[in-house]
């Protein structure tokens, strides 16, 4: 897979690591935030933990670093705490998204060591969603109908495509805007998929896309070469991140059919990243107020943000929000 987290966020975190601003031993913990409780540490079953999804009941999914440095998928509830979801027989796995029925999408390694897209459910256990013919796949979104979106390598493992999976059709290849590659990162209840896709056969550029039943829509950029869509809500509003003119600045965007792609701001910053949007159009992600800090935020309007703070240290980011306004993500502890 090309990536699991937003490329803008990855570029930022990588710059911190290489600059020495974040020590290699930094510990992150998953958090849940609400307007009434603030940011709460939900702990870990090993080393660092990262929350990636939340449903309307407040169930949280994500992954933690086990003592052997393997990634492990978890489900967290207020009453039961954090529980390891298990794997397809391998050592590693990540839970990426959860729907209101408690079904969880992500990926897991098999006994043979291959990473496959996975569906966890209370009644059905762990289901291997297979691939589009290549050696690996991962799931990043799930909707109320149980449809799953993600990315799979293709036969020969030389390129990869976004997919949409359901119990009836199994894994369907969604294709690409052009070129070879596409990734799916967001999925709404009508089956619309948001992600990124190559425009040519070379490595760059990638553009954010919305894939509906009628085909692909290229969402463009904020003036730079690359963009990627992270999520789409049931109104068809898409959010994500894009380079601006000159490719020196990565900015969060919101896209609508009527208004096109707009910079969420705050303008003048070098980095911010929109990661999730709920049914009411509330957007969460990460914002760099002063380098090298980064804070989880809620956009209350374009160019207006609410800083959610940190558990400690200088880094946090928000990765998901439910319709009740509960937010999850991860933060440094000190």
pLDDT tens by residue, 127-158: 999 999 999 999 999 999 999 999 999 999 99
> Residues of the chain with pLDDT > 90: what percent?
81
- Evaluated on CA atoms 148, 154, 157, 162, the torsion sign reads negative
Are 286 and 251 in contact, with CB atoms under 8 Å apart? Answer: no
For the chain, the structural domain boundaries read 7-332
Copy the structure tokens of residue 56: 């309307």
Binning pLDDT at 50, 70 and 90, where does residue 57 land?
very high
Question: Alpha-carbon dihedral of residues 132, 111, 7, 222, nearest 10 degrees?
Answer: 20
Query: Taking Cα atoms as reference points, which of 57, 51, 95 lies closest to residue 77?
Result: 57
Element (H, E) at 141: strand 137-142
7-332 is classed in which CATH architecture?
Answer: 6 Propeller (2.120)
pLDDT in tens, 62-100: 999 998 899 999 999 999 999 999 999 999 999 999 999
Task: Decide if pLDDT at 224 tops 90.
Answer: yes
String of b and e for 267-306 (b: at least 16 CB within 10 Å)?
A: eebebbbbbbbbeeebbbbbbbeeeeebbbbbbeebeebb
């Amino acid at each position: 897979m090309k990536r699991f987290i937003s490329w803008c966020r990855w570029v930022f975190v990588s710059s911190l690591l290489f600059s020495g601003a974040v020590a290699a031993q930094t510990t992150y913990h998953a958090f849940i935030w609400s307007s009434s409780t603030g940011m709460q540490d939900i702990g870990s079953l090993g080393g660092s933990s990262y929350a990636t999804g939340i449903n309307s009941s407040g169930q949280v999914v994500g992954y933690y670093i086990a003592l052997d440095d393997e990634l492990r998928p978890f489900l967290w509830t207020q009453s039961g705490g954090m529980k390891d979801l298990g794997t397809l027989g391998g050592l590693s796995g990540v839970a990426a998204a959860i729907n209101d029925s408690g079904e969880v999408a992500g990926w897991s390694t098999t006994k043979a060591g291959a990473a496959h897209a996975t569906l966890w459910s209370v009644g059905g256990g762990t289901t291997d969603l297979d691939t589009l013919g290549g050696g690996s796949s991962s799931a990043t979104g799930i909707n109320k109908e149980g449809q799953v979106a993600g990315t799979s390598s293709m036969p020969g493992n030389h390129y990869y495509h976004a997919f949409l999976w359901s119990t009836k059709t199994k894994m369907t290849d969604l294709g690409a805007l052009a070129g070879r590659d596409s990734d799916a990162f967001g999925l709404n209840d009508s089956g619309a998929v948001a992600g990124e896709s190559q425009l040519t056969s070379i490595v760059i550029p990638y553009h954010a896309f919305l894939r509906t039943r009628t085909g692909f829509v290229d969402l463009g950029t904020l003036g730079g070469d690359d963009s990627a869509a992270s999520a789409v809500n049931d109104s068809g509003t898409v959010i994500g991140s894009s380079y601006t003119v000159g490719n020196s600045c990565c900015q969060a965007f919101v896209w609508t059919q009527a208004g096109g792609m707009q910079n969420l701001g705050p303008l003048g910053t070098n980095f911010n990243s929109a990661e999730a949007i709920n049914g009411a159009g509330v957007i969460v992600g990460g914002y760099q107020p002063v380098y090298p800090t980064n804070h989880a935020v809620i956009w209350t309007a374009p160019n207006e943000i609410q800083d959610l703070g940190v558990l400690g240290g200088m880094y946090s980011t928000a990765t998901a929000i439910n319709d009740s306004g509960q937010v999850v993500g991860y933060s440094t502890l000190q």
